[in-house]
């Protein structure tokens, strides 16, 4: 298995959950070396408690750059010799509200590169290494379905991921490869802390039918399900993991 953006948040929780289930996992990260090492250590500890024997490793890189993607997958080839499952989780969200009238071309391109180009490059490389039974899970967002005012560039990239998911699910189905997306709502991670650690949290919770913000583990569970044989006949779907918030728009 390979998980991009695996050093923290949803990616880290997914790495730990996969290792606990007995899967060997490589994780990529941009620059947070110490966090990536801790994620590997936590995954190894979870595996030992299971107990199981797995291979765990991490690799740095900017996945919007083709050379870094090639280096990451050269590591995949050395460590695994192929790939059974891929989680495209690398991405960013900026809490700063940016109306369309103030959204500059540079901001737009940076968001597209990090959230979408990286998904295209890594997914393309991953499926080249998959045989029948391969699993691809891409991280989308509730924002792709409801829209997100003053975050149009973020919502646009996540909407594109939904369409990308459905297109390649159709393309890769004859090869026995499933492709699905997971769309979280608010998740209690470092990326959303600038909002969830403020009085705005009360408003956020009031818009979620289950009346709580998801943990990273809440999202990792459905990801692991989609990577398993239990989901072998499920493809081209966008699975909402948002406590029902998408119902209230």
**Quick check: 204 and 195 in contact, CB under 8 A?**
yes
Residue 173: which of 128, 235, 126 has the closest Cα? 235
Active-site residue, from 73, 154, 164, 186: 154
Residue 123: which of 80, 78, 178 has the closest Cα? 178
Residue 229: which of 178, 181, 182, 183 has the closest Cα? 178
At 189, is the secondary structure helix, strand, or coil?
coil
Give Cα 237 to chain centroid, integer Å.
15
| Cβ contacts of 65 within 8 Å, gap of 6 or more | none
29 is catalytic: no
Q: Where are the beta strands (DSSP E) in 99-201?
A: 135-139, 178-184
Q: Where are the beta strands (DSSP E) in the chain?
A: 2-3, 25-29, 56-60, 85-88, 135-139, 178-184, 238-241
What does the DSSP 8-state code read for residue 58? E
Residue 56: which of 73, 80, 77, 72 has the closest Cα? 80
Please report how the helices 118-128 and 66-79 are oriented relative to each other, as an axis angle in degrees rounded to 10. 30
Residue 190: which of 5, 9, 29, 69 has the closest Cα? 9
Positions marked catalytic? 154
């Amino acid at each position: 298995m390979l998980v991009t953006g695996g050093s923290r948040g949803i990616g880290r929780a997914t790495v730990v959950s996969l290792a606990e289930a007995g899967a060997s996992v490589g994780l990529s990260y941009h620059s947070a070396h110490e966090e990536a090492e801790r994620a590997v250590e936590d995954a190894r500890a979870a595996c030992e408690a299971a107990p199981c024997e797995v291979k765990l490793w991490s690799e740095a890189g900017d996945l919007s750059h083709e050379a870094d993607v090639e280096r990451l997958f050269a590591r995949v080839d050395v460590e695994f010799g192929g790939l059974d499952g891929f989680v495209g989780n690398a991405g960013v969200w900026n809490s700063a509200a940016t109306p369309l009238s103030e959204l500059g071309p540079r901001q737009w391109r940076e968001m597209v590169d990090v959230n979408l180009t990286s998904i295209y490059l890594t997914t393309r490389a991953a499926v080249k290494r998959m045989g029948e039974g391969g699993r691809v899970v891409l991280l989308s967002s509730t924002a792709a379905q409801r829209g997100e005012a003053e975050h149009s560039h973020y919502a646009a990239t996540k909407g594109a991921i939904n369409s990308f998911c459905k297109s390649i699910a159709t393309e890769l189905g004859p090869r026995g490869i499933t492709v699905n997306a997971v769309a979280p709502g608010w998740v209690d991670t470092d990326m959303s802390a600038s909002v969830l650690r403020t009085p705005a949290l009360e408003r956020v919770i009031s818009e979620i039918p289950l009346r709580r913000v998801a943990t990273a583990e809440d999202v990792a569970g459905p990801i692991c399900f989609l990577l398993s044989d239990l989901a072998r006949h499920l493809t081209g779907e966008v699975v909402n993991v948002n406590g029902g918030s998408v119902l209230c728009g």
